[in-house]
Structure 1
């Protein structure tokens, strides 16, 4: 089978790697390079970097019309999409004989949209999974070819869960493609009430100490490593790891002299690891030794 792969972030790389072991990849389509880091240097997406390492032809169209023209010229048997970052139009979906197949990191129709892993962690879900679907014009609304259930472990944060889902999803995707190409699997309409996973906003990254303690921990896990709070002087602290703790106090109050235990609207959390205002990763205890205030904002 002649496949064109469409993907952008590191989540998509295990899928491309597995597909290369089993099929011919004619080309890779990914998003354009974007400014990144403090210097805002133009940086290629992870999938482009991987494609170049593997000697694959790589396209970075800026519009849907460009995508259409590229795929029309390549004439793929199938287009495989993993976290590409753009909804494909009807005319694009019609090009490949075997359709456009998408790996989505949720149990559809739950968490359709851009941030399914973050939303599952934020909600405190115990289970999530992967779905492989035949794409249609909607946002993750296509019929499902296969799916797998994945347990969310207590230590899972966005990084850990993303890695787990991407590796497991890559194997599921290849198995599903083999069945699909042989005609041994049929798409099934999604069943159940859909929920949505909109893009993460900057406002969501800030920890609110008025929330319940478990909710604070869920936010830290969901937006790792970007969830943050402020010091009394307004300096930003990125909170990387925390756990439930004993004790009560005013919201945001540090209620222990040796451990960084912070009171919430209900319950308390102990901050175990953070990145301080100088960009250094330190423990909560290390931070507390140099912090004279008794509150976090």
Structure 2
């Protein structure tokens, strides 16, 4: 099939590479415009744009797809000229307007990292970990005017491990989901896929803000453990001590932890424990403001914690 791929961040790169390596032809990519990154705040192309350039694939970077904008008019004309059979999508980051949905015979096919209709929205991987799901997966579906509501083309399941961070789980899903997207393109081409409506109650995973990642130490230890893993590495779970914001790496659940009130810190020579709404957890690593992640015990020795010091 003749494809125009739409995507922007690192997880989309895996799927794009798998499509490039497949029997299908990627004739162009749609991605977000270059963005400022790093200390110098210089402009850099997206991860998808970089990979496409390495393979000599045309890159389209519209700031918007709105029909009445200059970018929108230009991209419509170019898509008509490219005449793709399908537009596979992975984390593109822009709203696809109604008039564009029928620009290709097989439409726009999104790879979403959940088992729809569970966790529609921007942060399905984080939501699955945070809420304690044991199984998640990936879904390819045809994009329509709703929020992740289109007909399902194919799915796969993925176990969530008790130590998974969002990064761990997303990496596995990026690779297995990339294979699923290739298989979906092949199935659409040879007619072996029968689209199915989404069945069951929908749940939603909205975009995560920094405030959402704040740790509530009054919650049970298991909930705090999932919360931290769900927000690792981005935006990073955090707490405060004396008005300083500290990021907290995934914790250990230990039956040997001391009895502590929620948020109260107990620092020994080799371990730091923090009270929760149930049993205390062991904090393994902490990132103080302006510094790199470090062992929690080293941090505690350096800050000379007062008795009954407490995270808020």
What's the TM-score bracket when you normalise by the shorter of the two chains? over 0.9
Match of 1:79 among 87, 105, 109: 87
Return 5+ residue gaps in structure 1 as ranges: none
Match of 1:179 among 164, 180, 187: 187
Cα distance between partner residues in 2 of 1:75 and 1:97: 9
Question: Relative to structure 1, is the Cα distance of residues 69 and 137 closer, same or farther in structure 2, using a 3 angstrom cutoff?
Answer: farther
Question: Relative to structure 1, is the Cα distance of residues 184 and 121 closer, same or farther in structure 2, using a 3 angstrom cutoff?
Answer: same
**Partner residue of 2:240?**
230
SS at match of 1:200: coil
**Partner residue of 2:268?**
257
Equivalent residues in 2 for 1:147-158, closer than 5 Å: 147-158=155-166
Match of 1:220 among 228, 232, 241: 228
Equivalent residues in 2 for 1:262-277, closer than 5 Å: 262-277=274-289
Tell me if the contact between 2:268 and 2:297 (Cα under 8 Å) persists in the aligned partners. Answer: no
Does residue 18 (structure 1) correspond to residue 18 (structure 2)? The answer is yes
**Partner residue of 2:35?**
34
Tell me if the contact between 1:68 and 1:91 (Cα under 8 Å) persists in the aligned partners. Answer: no
SS at match of 2:27: strand
**Partner residue of 1:240?**
249
Q: Give CA deviations for 1:117-164 in whole Å, capped at 9, x if unaligned.
A: 111111111110000111111111000011011000112101111100
SS at match of 1:145: strand
Cα distance between partner residues in 1 of 2:228 and 2:34: 28
Cα distance between partner residues in 1 of 2:131 and 2:303: 32
Tell me if the contact between 1:111 and 1:195 (Cα under 8 Å) persists in the aligned partners. Answer: yes
Question: Relative to structure 1, is the Cα distance of residues 28 and 35 closer, same or farther in structure 2, using a 3 angstrom cutoff?
Answer: same
Match of 1:104 among 108, 112, 119: 112
* Cα deviation, residue 82, structure 1: 0.7
Q: Over aligned residue pairs, what C-alpha RMSD do you find?
A: 1.5
Provide runs of 4+ in structure 1 moved above 6 Å. Answer: none
Structure 1 range deviating more: 135-144 or 241-250: 241-250
Tell me if the contact between 2:214 and 2:239 (Cα under 8 Å) persists in the aligned partners. Answer: yes
Equivalent residues in 2 for 1:136-175, closer than 5 Å: 136-175=144-183
Q: Give CA deviations for 1:151-209 in whole Å, capped at 9, x if unaligned.
A: 00112101111100000001111112111110011100000011111110121121121
**Partner residue of 1:288?**
300
* Cα deviation, residue 25, structure 1: 0.7
* Cα deviation, residue 39, structure 1: 4.1
SS at match of 1:290: helix
* Cα deviation, residue 256, structure 1: 4.1
Tell me if the contact between 1:241 and 1:274 (Cα under 8 Å) persists in the aligned partners. Answer: no
Cα distance between partner residues in 2 of 1:235 and 1:68: 49
Return 5+ residue gaps in structure 2 as ranges: none
Does residue 60 (structure 1) correspond to residue 75 (structure 2)? The answer is no
SS at match of 2:196: coil
* Cα deviation, residue 217, structure 1: 1.2
Cα distance between partner residues in 2 of 1:274 and 1:137: 43
Tell me if the contact between 1:87 and 1:139 (Cα under 8 Å) persists in the aligned partners. Answer: no
Tell me if the contact between 2:110 and 2:142 (Cα under 8 Å) persists in the aligned partners. Answer: yes
SS at match of 2:171: helix
